[in-house]
Amino acid sequence: MTINPKYAGPLMGLIISLGMSFVMSFVMISMNVGFTANFLNKWMHAWAAGFLIGFPASAVFVPIARKYVFKLTGAEM
């Protein structure tokens, strides 16, 4: 299965925001709540909330970051 290259940016943002929100929510919940009996439930709730914020945020910030990185490095887009 091949996905059209025009979707590469949003797909990259989706994958990155899934992974980052998953890891960050685990770390934050384990630090703030600890490994309690309902840890998994709290973690999944925090992960879902983090992803719902993280994916739209990545759609905004990734193009901005890309623009500045290319400007600073002189690379072509």
Q: What sign results for the dihedral spanned by CA atoms 38, 44, 47, 53? A: negative
Q: Which residues are within 8 A (CB) of 25 and not within 5 positions of it... i.e. 6 or more apart?
A: 43, 46, 47, 49, 50
Query: Number of structural domains, the chain?
Result: 1
Asked if residue 16 is part of any domain, the answer here is yes
Q: pLDDT > 90: what percent of the chain?
A: 48
Q: Which residues are within 8 A (CB) of 58 and not within 5 positions of it... i.e. 6 or more apart?
A: 13, 14, 16, 17
Q: Report pLDDT for 25.
A: 94
Rounded Cα gap, residues 49 and 70, in angstroms:
31
Asked if residue 23 is part of any domain, the answer here is yes
Q: What is the pLDDT of residues 21-30, one digit of tens each?
A: 999 999 999 9
Q: What is the pLDDT of residues 39-55, one digit of tens each?
A: 999 999 999 999 999 88
Asked if residue 2 is part of any domain, the answer here is no
Domain that includes residue 24, residue range: 7-73
* Mean predicted confidence (pLDDT) in 8-16: 85
- How many alpha carbons lie under 13 Å from residue 61 in its C-beta half-sphere? 10
